[in-house]
Amino acid sequence: MKGWHGRLLWVDLTRGEARSVEYPKEWALNFMGGRGLAARILWEHMPAGADPLGPDNLLIFAVGPLTGLPLPSSGKLVVAAKSPLTGGYGDGNIGSMAAVHLRRAGFDAIVVRGRAEKPSMLVVRDQKADILPAEHLWGLDTWAAERRLREDYGRNAGVLLIGPAGERLVRFATVISQEGRSGGRPGMGAVMGSKRLKAVVIVGTGDFNLHDQREVAKLGSAAYRDVKRSKGYSFWMRQGTMMTVDWAQENSVLPAYNFREGVFEGFKGIDGYRMEELKVTQRGCPNCNMTCGNVVRDAEGELSELDYENVAMLGSNIGLDDLAKVAVLNRLADMYGLDTISLGGTLAFAAEASEEGLIDERIEWGDFDRFRDLIREVALRETELGNLLAEGTRRAAEKLGGDSIRYAMQVKGLEVSAYDCHAAPGMALAYATSPIGAHHKDAWVISWEVATDRFSYGPEKARRVIELQRVRGGLFESFVTCRFPWVELGLDLDYYIKLLRAATGVEYTWDDLYALADRVYALVRALWIRELGGWDRSLDMPPARWFREPISKGPLAGSRLDIEKFRGLLDAYYELRGWDERGVPRRSTLEKLGLGFTVETLDRLVGLTP
Ligand code: PTT
Ligand code: SF4
């Protein structure tokens, strides 16, 4: 089989074993790689109802047939597991040399089960894999630990690791790489910590096993050229995702004060132009010619790599208007290994709960010093408050009681990313139906929505969300490459179908690929149902705040979502997906998509609709 290696590196930390195993060819063809392959492995090999922080959970690092190839922005991999934050399927996408090395080592994924007796690391050198002691690294932040590993394994080795937050099982701890790349928002770092796995180091030197290497090279270089010639290239190279701050403010979607507002009076202090003043360099993932990691000198003189989400969630959403200080909070998140989005949502939750007298201490909006300390308390579970917040907003609200669930801005337990939806029903639907909880990556419908009829709840919004989920969440997460060349600079999607053909020899059509994306989505939904033991459409609802409390500032003051109309939009979404009114895929949908193997389990749990 060309384009895939057809092998997994299966690691059992309880037994201290690592071995190379074949997996069915059909999985590669029908689930491709990344998210698709990870979901298929979880369905097959993780016992239903596994404790996300127990040895039976599987931590998966998966690449796809386009990963690592000489084509734009191909240095990405998916990290997936059952999430300790949501209890359902979780994953994230991280740019790292580890992605390229994993492919070169000859594996399509690493699957880790069990729990090591002592802190350990996995070192993969081509087909050889060793589980080694890592007590000397345990407790170190991600930067210090990665530097030590690079001294031992070389400057170009692929390194994926956790910081102190992952070690302490903070439920939104992530996996970090290259001092500023983070992946696995729904607690993939905590899963790694629960296995006492500090780091994975990969050095691969083999080839990619391609169908037509010359054609891949030809297409790849044409695509690099198109990216560079695109209209938006030079401004993208200046600001990257940071250009979104001004756009979000202009369109009243910049989250402020725990999503109470969609505009922030101090936005100029944290926008892309301010970032340009502080910028010292820029860096990115491997194989990328649109390096979007903008590195600034922060208020404490250290380097910090900024993105829009980080800045909105640790800036406007907590009332902080000084980018150099926001950059400090962002750097700490990277060093401790915490997701900046959930962290920002959690800090804002604390500020609002304190304002309402639900916690004893008063935490002021914009209080940099207090937030700085609180990040350490969360990452190290140091204080009672830090320990509470380390559980994420949904669990924190359940423990605090009172009215505090109102301040927990989350869907399925995962905190909302940085787009306010008081006046954006389509984006609210994207959050509500994202396969990992409230994340924007699968359907960033908001730019289209604000440019068209943003107040409509028509079925075209459901259709658009599904189209985006197919391409962004179904395909780019399975190819696995960065979606930015297409999303941000308009690289022609047809490149990918040609590249797939050249890499694998398989003649996928767009219909095949959309079916593949729908298959992955339905399988992920099936996993959720299996792991939660049932389903209820309230799980697909955005936070109540957007329905109940209108925004009070900016040109859209007074706006809020309409719950009845939103329910209609959700119905339209389910209908288009072939799911029933509960949000459960119909039996006919599962069978049509080749997911017959899920039918018996789902029917037993929830009774499938024909
Ligand atoms: C992603 C989420 C995002 S999405 C951001 S900023 W973004 C936050 N970044 C964090 C960070 O940084 N440090 C940290 N400690 N936590 C962070 N949490 C947040 O994580 C990232 C880029 C970005 S920047 C985006 S949109 C695109 N995402 C892609 C994706 O999801 N899939 C894909 N095929 N291509 C993508 N390209 C872009 O990659 P999660 P990265 Mg990320 C510092 O991880 O869990 O998916 O959540 O991977 O290598 O850092 O690149 O405005
Ligand atoms: Fe990484 Fe940015 Fe390049 Fe995508 S565009 S591969 S996120 S540096």
pLDDT tens track for 500-540:
999 999 999 999 999 999 999 999 999 999 999 999 999 99
- Is the distance from the beta carbon of residue 220 to the nearest atom of ligand 2 less than 6 Å? no
Q: Which ligand is nearest to the CA of 64?
A: 1
User: How many angstroms does the Cα of residue 429 sit away from the middle of ligand 1?
Assistant: 20
Residue 138 φ/ψ, nearest 5 degrees: -60, 130
Residue with the smallest CA separation from ligand 2 atom 2 is 292
User: How many angstroms does the Cα of residue 445 sit away from the middle of ligand 2?
Assistant: 20
Pair of tokens at residue 27: 């999985």
Pair of tokens at residue 52: 């996300």
Rounded CA gap, 189 and 205, in Å? 27
Rounded CA gap, 191 and 80, in Å? 10
- Is the distance from the beta carbon of residue 489 to the nearest atom of ligand 2 less than 6 Å? no
| Residues flanking ligand 1, CB < 6 Å | 76, 92-95, 174, 180-185, 241, 285, 305, 307-310, 333-334, 338-341, 441, 476-477, 482-484
Contacts of 27 (CB under 8 A, 6+ apart): 37, 40
H/E run at residue 8: strand 7-12
- Is the distance from the beta carbon of residue 426 to the nearest atom of ligand 2 less than 6 Å? no
Contacts of 464 (CB under 8 A, 6+ apart): 426, 443, 445, 448, 449
- Kindly state the average pLDDT of the residues 393-404: 94
User: How many angstroms does the Cα of residue 577 sit away from the middle of ligand 2?
Assistant: 30
Tens of pLDDT, residues 421-443: 999 999 999 999 999 999 999 99
- Is the distance from the beta carbon of residue 480 to the nearest atom of ligand 2 less than 6 Å? no
Yes or no: say if 371 and 386 are a contact pair by the CB < 8 Å rule. no
Given the CA of residue 481, which atom of ligand 2 is nearest to it? 6
Q: Which domains, from first to last, does the chain contain?
A: 7-203 (3.60.9.10), 233-416 (1.10.569.10), 427-490+509-606 (1.10.599.10)
Residue with the smallest CA separation from ligand 1 atom 26 is 441
Residue 126: C-alpha distances to residues 132, 203, 442, 481 (Å) = 16, 6, 33, 22
Residue 460: C-alpha distances to residues 154, 448, 453 (Å) = 51, 11, 10
pLDDT above 90 (res 318): yes
Pair of tokens at residue 395: 């669990």
- Kindly state the average pLDDT of the residues 584-596: 98
pTM, rounded to two decimals: 0.98
- Is the distance from the beta carbon of residue 292 to the nearest atom of ligand 2 less than 6 Å? yes
- Kindly state the average pLDDT of the residues 137-148: 98
Q: What percent of the chain has pLDDT over 90?
A: 100
- Is the distance from the beta carbon of residue 73 to the nearest atom of ligand 2 less than 6 Å? yes
User: How many angstroms does the Cα of residue 344 sit away from the middle of ligand 2?
Assistant: 22
Residue 93: C-alpha distances to residues 77, 80, 109, 174, 440 (Å) = 6, 9, 14, 11, 13
Q: Which ligand is nearest to the CA of 237?
A: 2
Tens of pLDDT, residues 39-71: 999 999 999 999 999 999 999 999 999 999 999
Q: Tell me which of 209-213, 401-405, 560-564 is least confident.
A: 401-405
Q: Are strands 303-306 and 293-297 parallel, antiparallel or unpaired?
A: antiparallel
- Is the distance from the beta carbon of residue 290 to the nearest atom of ligand 2 less than 6 Å? yes
Strand ranges in 14-103 using DSSP code E only, listed in sequence order:
17-22, 59-62, 76-82, 89-95
- Is the distance from the beta carbon of residue 285 to the nearest atom of ligand 2 less than 6 Å? yes
pLDDT interval class at 274 (50, 70, 90):
very high
- Is the distance from the beta carbon of residue 99 to the nearest atom of ligand 2 less than 6 Å? no
pLDDT interval class at 480 (50, 70, 90):
very high
Mean residue pLDDT across the chain = 97
- Kindly state the average pLDDT of the residues 141-155: 97
Given the CA of residue 488, which atom of ligand 2 is nearest to it? 5
User: How many angstroms does the Cα of residue 244 sit away from the middle of ligand 1?
Assistant: 14
User: How many angstroms does the Cα of residue 213 sit away from the middle of ligand 1?
Assistant: 29
Rounded CA gap, 7 and 100, in Å? 16
What is the chain's alpha carbon radius of gyration, rounded to the nearest angstrom?
Answer: 22
- Kindly state the average pLDDT of the residues 136-156: 98
Q: What is the pLDDT of residue 403?
A: 87
Tens of pLDDT, residues 191-205: 999 999 999 999 999
User: How many angstroms does the Cα of residue 438 sit away from the middle of ligand 2?
Assistant: 22
Q: What is the pLDDT of residue 366?
A: 98
Pocket test for ligand 1, best of 441, 442, 470, 487 (most atoms within 8 A of CB): 441
Residue with the smallest CA separation from ligand 1 atom 50 is 181
Residue with the smallest CA separation from ligand 2 atom 4 is 482
Strand ranges in 114-196 using DSSP code E only, listed in sequence order:
120-125, 128-133, 158-161, 175-177, 181-183
* Residue in 111, 93, 136, 83 with CA at minimum distance from that of residue 18: 111
Alpha helix locations (H) across 409-509?
A: 425-433, 446-451, 459-468, 477-479, 484-487, 494-504
